[in-house]
Amino acid sequence: MKVLVPVKRVIDYNVKVRVKADGSGVDLANVKMSMNPFDEIAVEEAIRLKEAGKADEIVVVSIGVKQAQETLRTALAMGADRAILVVAADDVHQDIEPLAVAKILAKVVEEEQPGLVLAGKQAIDNDMNATGQMLSALLGWSQATFASKIDIEGDHALVTREVDGGLQTIKVKMPAVVTVDLRLNEPRYASLPNIMKAKKKPLDEKTAADYGVDLTPRLEVVKTDEPPARAAGIIVGSVDELVEKLKEAGAV
Amino acid sequence: MAPEPFSDEVRMIRDTARAFVDRVIRPNVDDWEEAGRFPRELYLKAGAAGLLGIGYPEELGGSGGGVFHKLAWIEELMRAGSGGLAASLGSLDIGLPPLVKFGSDELKREIVPRVLAGEKIYALAITEPGGGSDVANLKTRAERVTVGNREYYRINGAKTFITSGCRADFYTVAVRTGGEGHAGISLIVVPREAEGFSSGPPLKKMGWWASDTAELFFDDCLVPAENLIGEESRGFPMITSNFQMERLTLAVMANVTSEMALEAAINHARDRRAFGSALTGHQTIRHKLADMGTLLEASRALTHACATRMEAGEMIFKEISMAKNFATDACDRITYDAVQIFGGMGYMRESVVERLYRDARILSIGGGTREIMNEIIAKQMGL
């Protein structure tokens, strides 16, 4: 089985995000970018499936600016077999909306014919949580979102999902789109020999035009604001005082 | 600053090194510093990630890569905040190079892959109780003897301040096989289990607490003659052949120590209030921080320039000595000022700047003292 893993290049989770002066978005100029952490979990899961003999090829795909090839190289160094870069933006600030991404991915799926698409549940930049679901709708495939455990059994997958109040296990027919949650696994760091090998793995470069997908945004960003600054706290002298203050604040 | 060569590989190595440090080292580093040691398994873990093998040939189990690959690892490792851990985990990088460059294939194949895998610990032993910088006058003697029908070297003498001295499995030991001066020096690989070899307890140090530093004793120590690295009495140039890389490493260690001290000082100065404003509102502190930042920037630029020239294969004895002195001077100044900005809190062990200040002190002593560096610089200037 071939597994396709879409990976997105996003602002690194350690970077303190700053809003651009004109409020049009987040400043990404000269900021450290990394693979979306949920996508890293998806790559790791695909590698584990391969190590368990349940997958035989892992293809990673990224859609965005040309520099997203760095993200793909990281996935190759982790253990993916080959990569497809779809250049769809010149400027790192130009966001591609989930629907356009899903449409491109649907075309990639058509070409690659994977048995499974493993995707992050959302990207940490815009937190849309939509691409995987849209892709499954476009393909007419089953979907399982927020996976914390995945078992492939023949032509079905058993997926444990984190839902409010507990865990839910569903059985979906393959091929399927599965989006992964935080607790599915802890992604490995690429070992040095694999980093050195990654540069020899194939990386195909395409453009959005190759897939004939319209990238025109459907959404308009009206304004981007910094989160409100946290108000200063107070130091209380005793547990009694703490309880009193909490009562005053209506917290207990 | 000029972009690093091999930037994509270097970026990935940095990411791996950072993840390794965050997951495996950082959560324990304060305990290890206080305990004066770290678990041996750390070598295995670093070896499994291929981090110990950076800069070593693949046919010996190395990861390949050059100067910038190595520096990415050293920088991230240093950011764990323990110079001692970095020194002990990295002791292979001063011990192995002579063996890899000049040793017999048999000796290399037997030892190097296990060291790079982290299964065995490797150290370098040159300094003696009677002298450090004056390498050409070392006193430990090795004599070629026949025991049964095998050839051995019989070693007598002592070494001190040996990083990884307490638990290294192999040592590159500098011994005198010939007459006086540098022409009589050889390098021999001594395994820990060699008859007549022993090491002392960990030495108590000002800094680098997590590092096991010890004395070594050779008491009619017998080592097979095949353990000689290269030819007899040709050891001195083998020792000096790794000096550039060692000095670059120390410059980088100093720069990262400075960087961490500066970051801590800035954070503290932003939070700490005195006389009605944050410390950063006081010119005396603002300007001190500005000076610290300037020194660090200059030091990084000089170090980076040296690294670039070394990667290109240049021999730069003068400049690398300058870079080491500049970086360690800057580090002394910056860690001193960081403690000053922290005030009483900077004198407390719970402050990172307290450790950085202590750890900084060795950097202008080890790997060639400040004075030896200046002698090299003066000579290279034709004086």
* Domain containing residue A78: CATH number: 3.40.50.620
User: Does any domain span residue A247?
Assistant: no
Q: Which of A85-94, B190-199, B225-234, B329-338 has the lowest mean pLDDT?
A: A85-94
Assess whether pLDDT exceeds 70 at residue A204: yes
Amino acid at A107: K
Q: How confident is the model at residue A159 (pLDDT cuts 50, 70, 90)?
A: very high
Q: What pLDDT was estimated at residue A68? A: 96
Task: Count the Cβ atoms, other than its own, within 10 Å of residue A173.
Answer: 10
Chosen for mutation from B11, B16, B76, B271 (greatest number of chain A CBs closer than 10 Å) is B16
Contact B107, B229 (CB under 8 A): yes
Assess whether pLDDT exceeds 70 at residue B3: no
Q: What pLDDT was estimated at residue A95? A: 85
Per the listing, tokens 């970095």 go with B86
Is the Cα torsion angle B283, B288, B289, B293 positive or negative in sign?
positive
User: Does any domain span residue A226?
Assistant: no
Domain B237-380, CATH: 1.20.140.10
Amino acid at A64: G
Task: Give the pair of three-digit tokens for residue B151.
Answer: 């050839």
Return residues 98-137 of A near B (CB < 8 Å). Answer: none
User: Does any domain span residue A238?
Assistant: no
Amino acid at A191: S
Q: What pLDDT was estimated at residue B346? A: 97
Assess whether pLDDT exceeds 70 at residue B6: no
Cβ neighbourhood burial of A232 (10 Å; 0-12, 13-18, 19+): exposed
- For B213-236, what is each residue's pLDDT tens digit? 999 999 999 999 999 999 999 999
| Cross-chain CB nearest to B49 (options A70, A74, A189) | A189
Interface touch A193/B50, C-beta < 8 Å: yes
Interface touch A74/B12, C-beta < 8 Å: yes
Spell out which residues of chain B touch residue A190, defining contact as CB-CB under 8 Å.
Answer: 12, 15-16
- Chain B's closest residue to A186, CA to CA, is B23
Spell out which residues of chain B touch residue A199, defining contact as CB-CB under 8 Å.
Answer: 8-9
Pairs of CB atoms within 8 A across A/B: 49
Percent of chain B with pLDDT over 90: 96
Average pLDDT value over all residues in chain A: 94
Stretch (H or E) spanning A34: strand A33-35
- For B40-69, what is each residue's pLDDT tens digit? 999 999 999 999 999 999 999 999 999 999
Assess whether pLDDT exceeds 70 at residue B17: yes
Task: Count the Cβ atoms, other than its own, within 10 Å of residue A226.
Answer: 10
CATH 2.40.110.10-classified regions of chain B: 122-234
Q: How confident is the model at residue B5 (pLDDT cuts 50, 70, 90)?
A: low
Return residues 28-67 of A near B (CB < 8 Å). Answer: 34
Q: How many angstroms away from the CA of A14 is the closest CA of chain B?
A: 12
Annotated catalytic residues of B are 246
Q: What is the mean pLDDT of residues B160-173?
A: 97
CATH 1.10.540.10-classified regions of chain B: 4-116
- For B243-252, what is each residue's pLDDT tens digit? 999 999 999 9
A193 touching chain B per CB within 8 A: yes
SS (H, E, C) chain B: CCCCCCHHHHHHHHHHHHHHHHHHHHHHHHHHHHHCCCCCHHHHHHHHCCCCCECCCHHHCCCECCHHHHHHHHHHHHCCCCHHHHHHHCCHHHHHHHHHHHCCHHHHHHHHHHHHCCCCCEEEECCECCECCCHHHCCCEEEEEEECCEEEEEEEEEEEEEECCCCCCEEEEEEECCCCCHHHEEEEEEECCCCCEEECCCCCCCCCCCCCEEEEEEEEEEEEHHHEECCCCCHHHHHHCCHHHHHHHHHHHHHHHHHHHHHHHHHHHHHCEECCEEHHHCHHHHHHHHHHHHHHHHHHHHHHHHHHHHHCCCCCHHHHHHHHHHHHHHHHHHHHHHHHHHHHHHHCCCCHHHHHHHHHHHHHCCCCCHHHHHHHHHHHCCC
User: Does any domain span residue A158?
Assistant: yes
In this structure, what are the phi and psi dihedrals at residue A178, rounded to the nearest 5 degrees? Answer: -120, 130
> Nearest-CA neighbor of B171 among B94, B72, B65, B274?
B94
- For B250-283, what is each residue's pLDDT tens digit? 999 999 999 999 999 999 999 999 999 999 999 9
SS (H, E, C) B284-303: HHHHHHHHHHHHHHHHHHHH
Q: What is the mean pLDDT of residues B348-361?
A: 96
Domain B4-116, CATH: 1.10.540.10
Q: How many angstroms away from the CA of B378 is the closest CA of chain A?
A: 40
User: Does any domain span residue A225?
Assistant: no
Chosen for mutation from B6, B12, B58, B63 (greatest number of chain A CBs closer than 10 Å) is B12
Assess whether pLDDT exceeds 70 at residue A62: yes
Chosen for mutation from A14, A71, A186, A195 (greatest number of chain B CBs closer than 10 Å) is A195
pTM of the model: 0.91
Number of domains in chain A: 1
A232 touching chain B per CB within 8 A: no
Q: What pLDDT was estimated at residue B1? A: 42
Assess whether pLDDT exceeds 80 at residue B2: no
Spell out which residues of chain B touch residue A34, defining contact as CB-CB under 8 Å.
Answer: 15
CATH 1.20.140.10-classified regions of chain B: 237-380
- Report the alpha-carbon distance of residue B223 to residue B184 in Å, rounded: 18
> Residue A228 carries which DSSP code?
P
Task: Give the pair of three-digit tokens for residue A228.
Answer: 């409100």
Q: Does domain B122-234 have CATH number 3.30.980.10?
A: no
Percent of chain B with pLDDT over 70: 98
User: Does any domain span residue A79?
Assistant: yes
- Chain A's closest residue to B8, CA to CA, is A70
Between residues B326 and A91, the one the model is more confident about: B326
Q: How confident is the model at residue A69 (pLDDT cuts 50, 70, 90)?
A: very high
Q: What is the mean pLDDT of residues A148-154?
A: 94
- Chain B's closest residue to A69, CA to CA, is B8
Q: What pLDDT was estimated at residue B4? A: 59
Q: How many angstroms away from the CA of B228 is the closest CA of chain A?
A: 31
| Cross-chain CB nearest to B16 (options A73, A189, A199) | A189
Give the 3-state secondary structure of residue A166. strand
Task: Give the pair of three-digit tokens for residue A94.
Answer: 């130009």
Interface touch A196/B15, C-beta < 8 Å: no
Chosen for mutation from A189, A197, A201, A203 (greatest number of chain B CBs closer than 10 Å) is A189
Which ipTM value was assigned to this complex? 0.85
Q: What pLDDT was estimated at residue A144? A: 97
Average pLDDT value over all residues in chain B: 95
User: Does any domain span residue A215?
Assistant: yes
Interface touch B12/A198, C-beta < 8 Å: yes
Range of A56's domain? 2-220
Q: What pLDDT was estimated at residue A154? A: 87
